Amino acid sequence: MDGMEYDESGFVEAEDGTRLFYGVRGSGPGVPAILNDGIGCDGFVWRYLQPHLAESRRVIHWHYRGHGRSGPPQDHGLLTIEGIARDLRLLMDRLDVPEAMLFGHSMGTQVELELYRLCPDRVRGMSLLCGSFGRVTHTFHGSDVLSQMLPGIRAVAKRHRGLARAIWGRVPTPLALRLAKLSGEVDSVTIREEDFRRYWEHIAVMDPDVFLQLLDAAGEHSAEDLLGEIAVPVLVFAAERDTFTPPELAEAMTQAIPGAELFILRGGSHAAPVEQPMTVQLRVDKFLAERVEGVTDVALASA
């Protein structure tokens, strides 16, 4: 479903028995990379960055509990940012990844930050793309309206589960894309319909209970207290027209993280990694070479 290509794939069992899907591509000498999705996503945003990174390193992409090919959460109490970060640590253990370069889009940035809190010695560097340190429902479209509405939406969805699942994701992809373009949620010029379709088709088959619970958890989570303690290289991407996580949040996060770098994707929306893939790739390459591993590290690893 996710449209990603893998050299190998499989499942690991989380602490509560939930089956977590992972896929691996590449085997080069660079620091291993782990790709962390946004909420409701199963890889569409990594379509271009994954094969590029795999030319020089092992790239691991995984599906959160209740997402993509992973199983439904056995314990809904673990459907939190902290719980997902523990899933990621377990995945690293099972796949024998002592340390990694983390890439996170949207909510994936919060997952990265919480993994760093759990085990900072296992994080070689981080790239935070179109995300925030937390409380995202309080800053959506520059206001806290979503955070105020979400409890009511969850309550209605719980009372009318059958109806919620019947209408969830029923909007056809062409119409959804048109609405997204008109509202400015995606860049109408650079977004490709096939990329948007991967995202929308996954949303359509998700359990709305899982989506709404995790959205609530992401809205209440915050890693703001952690930012000043981060001691690894960090590259922050902000999209100029991102209405989900406005660029001023990325700017504030960059200022709070010692030595962090900020790169603004001009004209980009929340889906900027698939709208401007070459720009992202080039900036990531520069960051990896100069801050994370460098030519010397790669040469030694391949010797």
pTM: 0.88
Residue 232 has pLDDT above 50, yes or no: yes
Q: Above pLDDT 90, what percent of the chain?
A: 65
| List of residues 6+ apart from 164 with CB closer than 8 A | 156, 157, 208, 209
Residue 296 has pLDDT above 50, yes or no: no
Within a domain: 170: yes
pLDDT at residue 168, rounded to an integer = 58
Within a domain: 2: no
Sheet holding 57-62, edge to edge: 8-13, 19-25, 57-62, 30-36, 100-105, 123-129, 234-239, 261-265
Q: CATH code at 220?
A: 3.40.50.1820
Per-residue pLDDT band at 153 (split at 50, 70, 90): low
Residue 78 has, within 13 A of its CA and on its CB side, a CA count of 18
pLDDT, one tens digit per residue, over 157-208 is 565 566 555 555 666 777 676 766 766 677 677 878 888 777 777 777 888 8
Within a domain: 3: no
Is the model more confident about 141 or about 98? Answer: 98
Is 253:260 a contact under the CB 8 Å cutoff? yes
Domain tally, the chain:
1
Within a domain: 278: yes
Burial of 183 (0-12, 13-18, 19+ CB in 10 A): exposed
**C-alpha 61: how far from chain center:** 10
Residue 298 has pLDDT above 60, yes or no: no
d(CA 209, CA 199): 18
Tally Cβ neighbours within 10 Å of residue 65: 24
Q: What value does the mean pLDDT of the chain take?
A: 87
Calculate helix-pair angle for 208-220, 107-118, nearest 10 degrees: 60
Q: Above pLDDT 70, what percent of the chain?
A: 82
| List of residues 6+ apart from 167 with CB closer than 8 A | none
Within a domain: 1: no
Residue 21 has pLDDT above 90, yes or no: yes
Looking at residues 209-217, what average pLDDT do you find?
A: 88
Looking at residues 261-272, what average pLDDT do you find?
A: 95
Show the domain range for 28.
8-302
Tokens of 50: 């994954």
Residues in a beta bridge with 129? 105, 237
In this structure, of 41-50, 96-105, 134-143, the range with the lowest mean pLDDT score is 134-143
pLDDT at residue 57, rounded to an integer = 98
